[in-house]
Amino acid sequence: MTFPVLTIRSGDQEDDDRLFPDLAAPTSGRVTALSPLDGKPAPFVATGVTVTRIVEGTHHKVLALSDVRIDVDVTDCRVVLGCQKYDKGGGWTGFGAGAVFALAANGVSKAMAANRRRGKVLVGHVRYAWLGKVGGSPKQGWLDTEQLRLIVHETAQDGGAMVMLTLSLPKSMNSLAISQDVVRRAATWRLSNDLSVDQEERLSLEQLQHAQPLSAQPKSFSLYTMPTSFRVSAGTAVGPVGQAPGAQGREVLDVSPGGGTGEPEERITS
Amino acid sequence: MTWTWLVWLAGWALVIDAVRRPAHQWTAADRNRTFWVALLTLMAPIFLIPYLVGVLPRLARTSNATTAPEFLRED
């Protein structure tokens, strides 16, 4: 089964929150539930999302949503997002008498959409153990949008694809500042939760802990690259992850992006 | 007569305010800007109170409350 990053959850589901976040209590004023491990979250709102799987150089768009409100939190262990009105309905337009029909059709369509999504929320998260790259593409022209991108890798069992989560942001937001915060928190998390970090990797992570803002690239993404990352699995969702060098029973870790043993703690080098 | 004009003027003032608010604020408030601008422009006496009660507070709440200040552009 592939890993789509985002999934639809309802309040009556009692799944664990390793691969996808849990829903918050209805009275909390939040969409997704946070735990004490999340620390102090930094919230922002995104207005669109695209999930793309890249298998052997071929892009497959899994999901694309626009003109929606997505509540995003950058926390101490993940980037978590939730969208309550992911299915809005509507879209009918018309002129003259057609406008009256469009008004009625939009009303019906929106009511049906509200009924379809009742109690359901689109949620997802990228845990820092999985994070391969993060970066932004600032709005530079009139037609551009501010975008934030996070990249993870599936396990071989899930297809071994590279999965890109791209969030569209309001123009008042600074995607490079968000990616700087994400990479700093991710590096901090890895340093304190990844047992397999060696000396060289530790130095790289310590540099990323104090990462400076990236410079904007015209029409492309500026990305921070984590020295290594774990493929997405429930086994690497919560710390500690990895195994200390020389530890008994250490799994063989694949280091090539395309290969992999399919073990839950598969690790890749960027 | 004076009251009618005052209501229309208030409605149009709110239209100007609505148009000046960025699109993301409307998205975050989950309200449709085109819809409300049209209603206030054409039928301000009817929709002034619903706008003041149901839309403006949401816009005010979402203006910056949902975003960490360090993620906002400085310019």
Closest approach of chain A CAs to the CA of B68, in angstroms? 5
Q: Which pLDDT value is given to residue A102?
A: 67
Query: How many degrees, rounded to 5, is the angle at CA A104 between CA B55 and CA B42?
Result: 50
Listed in sequence order, the DSSP H helices in chain B are 2-20, 23-29, 33-54, 56-62
* Nearest residue of B to residue A146, measured between CA atoms: B73
| Close Cβ partners of A109 (under 8 Å, ≥ 6 residues apart) | A89, A90, A91, A92
Instruction: Detail the DSSP E strand segments found in A16-101.
Output: 42-55, 58-74, 78-83
pLDDT given for residue A125 in this prediction = 95
Closest-CA distance, A17 to chain B, in angstroms, reads 23
d(CA A13, CA A32) in angstroms, rounded, equals 13
Q: How far apart are CA A227 and CA A202, in angstroms?
A: 9
Contact criterion met (CB < 8 Å) for B22 and A69: no
pLDDT per 10-residue tile (average), chain A, 270 residues: 84 77 83 91 92 92 89 95 79 62 68 66 94 92 88 90 93 90 96 91 95 89 94 87 62 39 62
Shortest alpha-carbon distance between residue A45 and chain B (Å): 7
- Flag whether pLDDT at B74 surpasses 50: yes
Q: Which of B23, B30, B71 sits opposite A44 (nearest CB)?
A: B71
Indicate whether this complex's ipTM tops 0.90.
no
Output the pLDDT for position A51.
94
B5 or A257: which leads in pLDDT: B5
Express each pLDDT in B9-50 by its tens digit.
999 999 999 999 887 788 777 788 888 998 888 888 888 999
Kindly list the residues of chain A whose beta carbon comes within 8 Å of any beta carbon in chain B: 42-45, 47, 67-69, 71, 74, 85, 169-174, 177-178, 181
Query: B23 in contact with A at a CB cutoff of 8 Å?
Result: yes
